Structure formats: structure tokens, C-alpha cells
Amino acid sequence: MNALLHSQSGYAPENTSLRPLRAVEYDLLAQVTRRLSSTWRNRKADHPNFVAALNDNLSLWRTMALDVSGSGNLLPAPLRAQLFYLFEFTDHHTARILKNEASVEVLVDVNMAVMRGLRGEGGAK
């Protein structure tokens, strides 16, 4: 997920390079996930901020999809395929949310599952 890190470098503190990459990836997902949750609760009062949070989440997933689809990615092929599928799911579900056909809860759950994996907690909840 190196592309993910590079795309978000403008938001990262200067000492990010001293932290493990998994920790930085975890923090980026956590930040986007918190924003999704908080803007969902206030979506009617501040719809533009909610849409921006959805877009940020989708952008993060798009970056991860690009990274895992690259030939230089060292993750195991099955994990790469699963992460790419999660991007496709996120893209589709985001469209449903924007049409008022779904909620963000599933996207939050997906992000949190990936965060658990980054923390080495893997497995089903």
C-alpha cells in the first residue's frame, strides 16, 4: 500500500518516515473512518462535508486498489485480490449511499476490519 502513503503525504507529519508503514496506513484509515462516522450523523445539516468524507474514503480505497494491482506489490496474491474487491465494493456502496439507498455503517465495518488486519489482529470479529 505504498501508493496510499505517498498520496496522503501532504497530510502526514514530517516524522512519518520514522513510523512503520502499517502504522501510517492504519492512521489514515482511522482518520477517514472517524470522519465517515461523524459526518454521517450530521449529513442533513452539513451534506457537503458528508459527501467530502465519502469522497476521501473512496479516494483512499482507489489508491489502495492501484497499489495492490501493481506488479511491484509484495502482498500475497489472494490478499491483493481481496483488497481490490473491497475497493470495488466501496465504490458501489458509496454510489448507493449517495442515492440514499444505504448507510455508511458497512463502509465503517470494512475499514475497521482492514485496520484490525494492519494491527495484526486479523480474523473475524
Has this prediction a pTM greater than 0.85?
A: no
C-alpha 77/C-alpha 14 separation (Å) is 32
* 19 — pLDDT class (breaks 50, 70, 90): confident
Cα 73 to chain centroid distance, Å, stands at 18
* CATH architecture type of domain 20-118: Up-down Bundle (1.20)
C-alpha 125/C-alpha 117 separation (Å) is 11
C-alpha 18/C-alpha 38 separation (Å) is 30
- pLDDT of 22: 84
Question: Would you list the domain boundaries of the chain?
Answer: 20-118
Query: Residue length, the chain?
Result: 125
Structure-block grid coordinates of residue 58: 473512496
Which string of DSSP letters, residue by residue, matches 6-54? Answer: HHTGGGS-GGGGGS-HHHHHHHHHHHHHHHHHHHHHTTTT-HHHHHHHH
* 20 — pLDDT class (breaks 50, 70, 90): confident
* 123 — pLDDT class (breaks 50, 70, 90): low
